[in-house]
């Protein structure tokens, strides 16, 4: 537990919901993100905080802590469940450790475009998966965008799966991603993103995979030379609230936060797309070499991963997988 978290826990004991006798409740809440201020995840968090502040006329104050100041994605999810932090927005991949159905979204090469992703996440299927969170002590408010994931490494240009042989690649803490990269011939090493820069710098790992926006915001270009446009998975982040916190809110405050979440989602996805469009060129300017992956090679990777996909279709549930791929 970080010192900041300990201090906040003490401070939080009496400040989360401060009720004036006959007045509407004053509320303070913390929103932790794992990425820096300029990344769309944190931009979305700040927009949500601003909208909630405006809609409540300053009565509800959400403070945003970026760059994993409140802990890793897994630690923040645990804090939300325990009621010691109020909001965060992890990848569906780390949420899948709590609700297995979230794992379906990360299956390789499942989405063709952001537009298609929006339709799935905002449609009945995405909403049905979101509705599974309360049984794990969380409330799902919206899906945000992390984006299409691409592969980077410090060793050599990668243009086909076989080039990955033996590379140590950091993955998210999710078994499907571990199997995915082992299935492509690399050696997967799971770790939280806040430990990743150091691991790449010391060459404890050779490679990682993330959208351009994350590679840029985390300055991975300082420690990774080669960028391969694998687009191997589309990643969404889920805006979640602590159920312990949520259950103490009035219906009006819940509605206000749901409305703020809807508005912040439009802003967050657009920010992600705008920044993603610029980030690739920015990475080249910083000295990264881009290696294009052909459609034929992507098809080859997909074939290599057939058994991984089959395994996780069973794990997430045949019905869920069938509905997702329909």
Positions touching ligand PAF (CB under 6 A) are 34-35, 73, 90-91, 146, 172, 193, 210, 214, 235, 237
Question: CB of 209: closest distance to ligand PAF in angstroms?
Answer: 8
Cβ proximity to ligand PAF: between 216 and 245 the closer is 216
d(CA 166, CA 127): 39
Question: CB of 34: closest distance to ligand PAF in angstroms?
Answer: 4
Cβ proximity to ligand PAF: between 56 and 149 the closer is 149
Question: CB of 257: closest distance to ligand PAF in angstroms?
Answer: 21
d(CA 32, CA 42): 8
Q: Which residues contact 322 (CB under 8 A, 6 or more apart)?
A: none
Question: CB of 96: closest distance to ligand PAF in angstroms?
Answer: 12
Q: Is 120 in contact with 111 (CB distance < 8 Å)?
A: yes
Cβ proximity to ligand PAF: between 139 and 193 the closer is 193
Question: CB of 220: closest distance to ligand PAF in angstroms?
Answer: 10
* Degrees, nearest 5: CA angle 232-200-312: 35
Question: CB of 33: closest distance to ligand PAF in angstroms?
Answer: 9
Q: Is 287 in contact with 154 (CB distance < 8 Å)?
A: no
Q: Which residues contact 175 (CB under 8 A, 6 or more apart)?
A: none
Cβ proximity to ligand PAF: between 146 and 272 the closer is 146
Cβ proximity to ligand PAF: between 36 and 317 the closer is 36
Cβ proximity to ligand PAF: between 30 and 170 the closer is 170
Cα 178 to its chain centre, rounded Å, is: 16
Taking the CB of residue 120, how many other CB atoms lie within 10 A of it? 19
Cβ proximity to ligand PAF: between 182 and 194 the closer is 194
Long-range contacts of 63-66 (CB under 8 A, 24+ apart): 63/28, 63/29, 63/30, 63/31, 64/31, 64/32, 64/33, 65/4, 65/30, 65/31, 65/32, 65/33, 66/33, 66/35, 66/36, 66/37, 66/39, 66/42
Question: CB of 70: closest distance to ligand PAF in angstroms?
Answer: 13
């Amino acid at each position: 537990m970080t010192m900041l978290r300990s201090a906040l826990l003490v401070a939080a004991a009496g400040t989360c919901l401060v009720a004036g006798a006959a007045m509407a409740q004053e509320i303070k809440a913390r929103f932790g993100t794992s990425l820096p201020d300029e990344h769309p995840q944190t931009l979305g968090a700040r927009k949500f905080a601003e909208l909630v502040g405006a809609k409540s006329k300053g009565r509800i104050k959400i403070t945003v802590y970026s760059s994993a100041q409140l802990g890793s994605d897994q630690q923040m999810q645990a804090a939300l469940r325990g009621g010691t932090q109020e909001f965060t927005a992890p990848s569906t991949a780390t949420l899948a450790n709590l609700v297995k159905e979230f794992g379906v979204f990360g299956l390789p090469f499942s989405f063709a475009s952001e537009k298609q992703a929006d339709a799935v996440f905002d449609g009945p299927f995405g909403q049905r998966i979101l509705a599974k969170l309360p049984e794990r002590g969380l409330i799902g408010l919206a899906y945000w965008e992390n984006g299409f994931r691409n592969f980077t490494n410090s060793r050599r240009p990668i243009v086909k799966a076989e080039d990955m042989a033996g590379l140590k690649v950091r993955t998210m803490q999710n078994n499907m991603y571990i199997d995915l990269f082992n299935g492509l011939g690399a050696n997967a090493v799971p770790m939280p993103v806040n430990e990743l820069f150091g691991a790449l710098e010391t060459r404890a790992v050779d490679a990682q995979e993330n959208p351009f926006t994350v590679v840029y915001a985390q300055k991975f270009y300082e420690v990774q030379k080669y960028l391969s446009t694998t687009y191997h998975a589309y990643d969404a982040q889920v805006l979640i609230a602590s159920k312990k916190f949520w259950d103490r809110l009035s219906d009006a405050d819940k509605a206000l936060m749901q409305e703020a979440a809807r508005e912040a989602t439009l802003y967050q996805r657009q920010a992600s797309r705008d920044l993603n469009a610029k980030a690739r060129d920015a990475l080249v300017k910083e000295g990264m070499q881009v290696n294009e992956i052909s459609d034929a090679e992507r098809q080859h990777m997909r074939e290599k991963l057939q058994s991984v996909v089959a395994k996780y279709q069973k794990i997430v549930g045949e019905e869920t997988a069938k509905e997702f791929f329909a």
